[in-house]
Each structure stands twice: as structure tokens, then as C-alpha cells.
């Protein structure tokens, strides 16, 4: 009897909690609603957070933009393959989710914001090594940091390049990658351009090979008729950058792996 009672109470509590989730504030009529289209499975830019709400860098920035413009933010999880179709169908007002800017999007007439994230990867070598292109590194050992976009590229889009190396060494920090390079254990380090630039700056013994591998930039897509909306959002983001909110959000530990590639925070 007691057990059943306990279970009923537990059930009641769970239901009560569910009710909490349901009670999302009804839209205020006079507020403009801005629907952000995201890929809910693209951490750390946009993902379903532990608390069941959408979270991520893009989501937080968009929330801040909406706060400053007085809009109400609604988030819509798009089907990534169909994102532009869904944008045209007005299911969302923009696609803002770590989206790679493709020339084909601009050709199709979509309004694309200024890029905010630079995913360019480069190879760093010793300056006296004589390597000048990725092809020179055939049969050599290349270090990459675990969990970076560089590692993902070598396992994916750049797998052919990776297989031309004699081996790829995975280190758990970029400092170790560079120590391996300077200590002569590897011949090159494959790393994000901003990280490479800041490490190589002021060091005569290292050089960046002038070849952008896996160069891509992220931007926000709007419908072709929404150039004004795009400008509004861009201006609001610029304001966030200027007043430091942008840097504050970017400095959160969960965004540590992307913070170096944010274009607006570059010097």
C-alpha cells in the first residue's frame, strides 16, 4: 500500500514538472517574433542542451540580438538538408547554425551575412624544413589536436591528404603538437589558422605553409527579400561586439574550441 502511495506521489511530481515545461510564455502580440532556424545537433553552435532547451553559441548570440532589438526569439530545428527550402517556406526567418557559406547560396539569391567564423586550417612547419605545400609532406608525420576541426577534416573531407602522410599523431593539446614539431618528432602541425598565427608570431623557427586547407566560413542565411532584416541583425551583432557581450558569451568554457576562430574577436 505504502509503495503504491509513494509511486503515485512520484508520478504526481513528475507530471507537475512536465507542466512546468509546458508553461512557456504565450507570445506577446505587439512583439515581433524572430524565428531562428538551427541544426539542433551541431554543438557547440546549436544543440539541445541538458535542460531540454536549445543552447549553443549561435543560439546565445541570437538571443542577445533579439533582446537588444526587442524581438521575441523562437527557435526552429530545421532538417539540415532542406534548410533553404524551409527558409523559403517561411518556417524560419534565417538559418543560423554554424552554416558554411557556399557560393551556390549567393548565386541562388539568398542574403548571406558577413562571415563570423573562420574554419581555415593550415600546416605549420619548421622554417628551415623547406616544405612549401601540403604535397611536400607526403610520407611525413603530422600532428593534430584531438577534437579540433582539423582532426575532423583529416578523418573526413581531407582523408586523401591524411593518407599521404606517413602517420597522423593525435595530441591532447595544441601546445604538445607544437612541442612535438619543435622537438623534431613530427614534421608539421595541422591546426586552425588563428591558433597557428598566434603561436608562430614572434618565432623565427616556425612557418605557416601558405595554403588554406579546408577553408570555410560560417554565416547566416536570410531569404532573398530580407536584406533589410540581415542588415538589422548584422548591426545588432556589431553592437554586441562593441559592448563586449559577444566576447563575454564567447569566453564561456563550452565555446573554448571555437573562440579562436570567431572573426569578430580577431585582432
The binding site for another protein (CB under 8 A) comprises 141, 143, 146-147, 151-152, 155, 169-172, 176, 179-180, 182-185
Residue closer to another protein, measured from CB, 64 or 168: 168
Q: Could you tell me the three cell numbers for 231?
A: 542588415
Residue closer to another protein, measured from CB, 53 or 155: 155
**Minimum distance from CB of 8 to another protein (Å)?**
35
Q: Could you tell me the three cell numbers for 219?
A: 554565416
**Minimum distance from CB of 181 to another protein (Å)?**
9
**Minimum distance from CB of 87 to another protein (Å)?**
26
Q: With b meaning 16 or more CB within 10 Å and e meaning fewer, what string describes 115-141? A: bbbbbbbbbbbeeebebeebebbeebb
Q: What is the CA radius of gyration of the chain?
A: 23
Tell me which DSSP letter residue 183 carries: T
| Rounded Cα distance, 120 and 114, in Å | 16
Residue closer to another protein, measured from CB, 143 or 250: 143
Residue closer to another protein, measured from CB, 153 or 209: 153
**Minimum distance from CB of 266 to another protein (Å)?**
26
Tell me which DSSP letter residue 262 carries: B
Amino acid at each position: 500500500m505504502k509503495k503504491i502511495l509513494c509511486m503515485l506521489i512520484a508520478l504526481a511530481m513528475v507530471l507537475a514538472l512536465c507542466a512546468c515545461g509546458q508553461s512557456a510564455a504565450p507570445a506577446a502580440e505587439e512583439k515581433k517574433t524572430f524565428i531562428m532556424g538551427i541544426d539542433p545537433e551541431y554543438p557547440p553552435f546549436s544543440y539541445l542542451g541538458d535542460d531540454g532547451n536549445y543552447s549553443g553559441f549561435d543560439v546565445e548570440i541570437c538571443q542577445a540580438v533579439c533582446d537588444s532589438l526587442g524581438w521575441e526569439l523562437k527557435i526552429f530545428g530545421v532538417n539540415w538538408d532542406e534548410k533553404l527550402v524551409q527558409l523559403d517556406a517561411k518556417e524560419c526567418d534565417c538559418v543560423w547554425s554554424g552554416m558554411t557559406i557556399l557560393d551556390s547560396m549567393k548565386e541562388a539569391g539568398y542574403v548571406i551575412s558577413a562571415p563570423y567564423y573562420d574554419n581555415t586550417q593550415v600546416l605549420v612547419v619548421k622554417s628551415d624544413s623547406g616544405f612549401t605545400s601540403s604535397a611536400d609532406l607526403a610520407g611525413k608525420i603530422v600532428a593534430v589536436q584531438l577534437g579540433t576541426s582539423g582532426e575532423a577534416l583529416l578523418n573526413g573531407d581531407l582523408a586523401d591528404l591524411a593518407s599521404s602522410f606517413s602517420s597522423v599523431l593525435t595530441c591532447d593539446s595544441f601546445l604538445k603538437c607544437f612541442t612535438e614539431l619543435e622537438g623534431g618528432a613530427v614534421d608539421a602541425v595541422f591546426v586552425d589558422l588563428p591558433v597557428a598565427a598566434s603561436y608562430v608570431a614572434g618565432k623565427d623557427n616556425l612557418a605557416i605553409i601558405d595554403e588554406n586547407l579546408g577553408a570555410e566560413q560560417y554565416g547566416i542565411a536570410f531569404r532573398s527579400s530580407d536584406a533589410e532584416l540581415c542588415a538589422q541583425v548584422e548591426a545588432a551583432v556589431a553592437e554586441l561586439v562593441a559592448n563586449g557581450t559577444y566576447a563575454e558569451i564567447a569566453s564561456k568554457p563550452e565555446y573554448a574550441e571555437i573562440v579562436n576562430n570567431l572573426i569578430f574577436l580577431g585582432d
